[in-house]
Amino acid sequence: MKKRIAVLPGDGIGPEEVEASLSILQTVANARGHKIELKMGLVGWAAYDVYGDVMPPETWTLCEKVDVILFGAVGLPVRDAEVPRDLRPERRALLPIRKHFGLGVNIRPVRIYPGLEEMSPLKNKFIDGGLLLTFFRELLGGDYFGDKRRSPDGRSWAEDVCRYERPQIELIARAAFEEARRTGEKVTSADKANVLDATGAYWREVVTEVHDKEFPKVALEYALVDSLSANLVRRPKDFQIILSSNAHCDILSDEGGGIAGSLGLLPSASLNPETGYGMYEPAAGSAPDIAGKGIANPTGMILSIALMFRHTFRDDIAAQAIERAVEKALFKGFRTSDIATEPSKWVSTQGMADVIGENLELEIAE
């Protein structure tokens, strides 16, 4: 399979993570017979310094000509504060990319690896042996994209309209159920159907219809989002795949990251299943406080590449090889500073990528 990939390193630690991880992408593509064409581009403040725009026309043109985006991170708090919200990288680059390419399905696996239980704030008895939660977040609907208004005086009232259309819910529900059918896991659909009589009840209604008509053999349960939030820390192993709306799952997936103990280990994929277009990025953000120090954790980016092989290249063998290589590196005690404990083998950003790459060579050879 041949794919054109736009590589947008962005700001903060994004460039370091991307640079350390591209060899993983190339190694797996070569081993599995995939042809890839990498096109480098600028986004965020890195783009502004060259073009005077955090999402310049040159980057839009690049993204239009490729099949997939590998995205680092955008945003620098000091510089963000100097411009109006609508001109900040998240508002002018990240959200418009999602909307323009119809990336309505967001997948974020949250995993606690065996041996890293001490990173979690939860007691060991709740996570012993590791944990895997996969969050399916609807990414283009709800109050994030609804009409936004304030009273004429700007002080009396404000509203962000929460609107959901049937195709948006069907798309994310179908993606979650397809994953559950592949893995044999249970889906927990989270909503507020008890008080949100319009959108909450509608969400549950549409999810139920998709399940009953297309995926009747997949295990499905419903949960109120506030109750689920509590139960994720009380009994996290009771859950596997969590499906929810844009705002609700934004919160839940960050809670999952907190349970894991480090955002540096977390990948994500934003997909348009109808066109096949996708964007893959780590969950850690730009982390400018550690940028340029060579201590950022590239694991989230490398696991995002694994998601790329699974969902864009449709090559689960390649994805699993990367995931096993990461697991072996962690099992052997290699750690970047964000997850380092005693005793462990502290390595740099590139050092961690190199260790994972060495394990990957062995995985591919097998």
Give the orientation angle of helix 349-365 with respect to helix 14-32, to 10 degrees: 10
Backbone CA torsion sign across 232, 233, 234, 239: positive
State the pairing for strand pair 131-138/241-244.
parallel
> CA–CA separation, 137 vs 206, rounded Å?
15
Say which amino acid occupies 146: G
Give the pair of three-digit tokens for residue 17.
């993570």
SS3 258: helix
Q: Which residues contact 188 (CB under 8 A, 6 or more apart)?
A: 220, 221, 222, 223, 228, 239, 240, 241, 242, 243
From CA 11, how far away is CA 74, in angstroms rounded?
A: 5
Residue 339, by phi and psi: left (phi above 0), alpha (psi -120 to 50) or beta?
Answer: alpha
- Residue 85 and residue 123 in contact, taking contact as beta carbons nearer than 8 Å: no
- Give catalytic residues, as residue numbers: 144, 192, 226, 250, 254
